[in-house]
Amino acid sequence: MKKTYLNNHNLFIAITVVCFFCCFNLLKAQNKEEVIKKYIQQYKEVAIEQMVLYKIPASVIMAQAIKESSYGTSFLASNTNNHFGIKCHREWGGNTFNKDDDTLNECFRSYKSVEDSYLDHSLFLVSRPRYSFLFEFGLYNYQAWCFGLKNAGYATSPPYAFDLITIIENYKLYELDKINPLPQSFKPEELLALNIPEIITSPQPDINAFEVKENLFAAIFYKQSTEEQAIFVRANTSDKKSN
C-alpha cells in the first residue's frame, strides 16, 4: 500500500512539474509575441520610409531587424542601437563597440538612435556591389530578397533566408510593402548619383538621419513630373510634420 501511495505521489509531482513548465513556456511564447508586435508597431514607419527612399522592401527590413536584434532586446541593440548586426568595416567613421561574435572581440557599428541604424542598413545595401542584384527583384518579391541576402553573404546561418520568410509571413509584414508612393524605376546607382552628401558611402560620426532623408526627398522630388511630385508630397507630408 505504501509503495502504491509513493508511486501515485511521484506521478502527481511529475504531472504537476510538466504542467508548470508547459504553462511557463506558453506564457513566455505569448509574451514574446506581444513584444515582437510592439516592436513592429514602433518601427514599421521607419522601415516604410527606408523602402520609399531606397527601394528595399519594408517587410525585409523589418524581418532583418527583428531577427538581428532579437526584436530590439539583444545586447547589441540595447547598448548601441545597432538593430541589424552591421560590423564596422573599413569605411565606417562612426562610434564602435567590440564584442565576441563569429570571432573574438569583433567591431560593430554604434548609433545615436535606432532610426540611424535603419538608415545605415539601407546605405549598407545600396552602396555595396554584391547586393546590387537584389534591387532587380522589385518590392513585392520578399522571398527572392531573403534568399538573395543569404547568398550575398549578409549572414552565415544556413537557414537565414527561411527565418526571415517565416517572420514576414507570421506577422504579415508583406502588407508594409504595399505603401510605395515612388516609381519603382529608381535603382541604387541612381540614388547614389543624386548629389547627396558624402554620408551615402561614408557615414560620419555625426550622422543625422533626418537631414539625409530631407536631402534625398528633395533630390528625388525634382526628378519627377508635376503629377508625381504632387503624389509624393501628399504621401510624405504627415511624415515630415511628425519630425
Residue 189 resides in a domain: yes
Residue 139 sits in a domain whose CATH number is 1.10.530.10
In the predicted structure, residue 238 carries a pLDDT above the cut 90: no
pLDDT per residue as tens digits for the range 53-89: 888 999 999 999 999 999 999 999 999 999 999 999 8
User: What's the rounded mean pLDDT across residues 18-31?
Assistant: 54
Residue 29 resides in a domain: no
Residue 26 resides in a domain: no
Residue 13 resides in a domain: no
Residue whose C-alpha cell is 526584436:
71
Residue 127 resides in a domain: yes
Task: Give the Cα separation of 209 and 197 in Å (integer).
Answer: 12
Q: Is 82 left (phi over 0), alpha (psi -120 to 50) or beta?
A: beta
Residue 77 resides in a domain: yes
Residue whose C-alpha cell is 549572414:
155
pLDDT of residue 221: 44
Q: 176 lies in which domain range? A: 48-242
User: What's the rounded mean pLDDT across residues 128-156?
Assistant: 92
How many Å separate Cα 210 from the centre of its chain?
Answer: 18
**Residue 17 β-bridge partners:** none
Total domains in the chain come to: 1
Residue 92 resides in a domain: yes
Question: For the whole prediction, is pTM greater than 0.75?
Answer: no
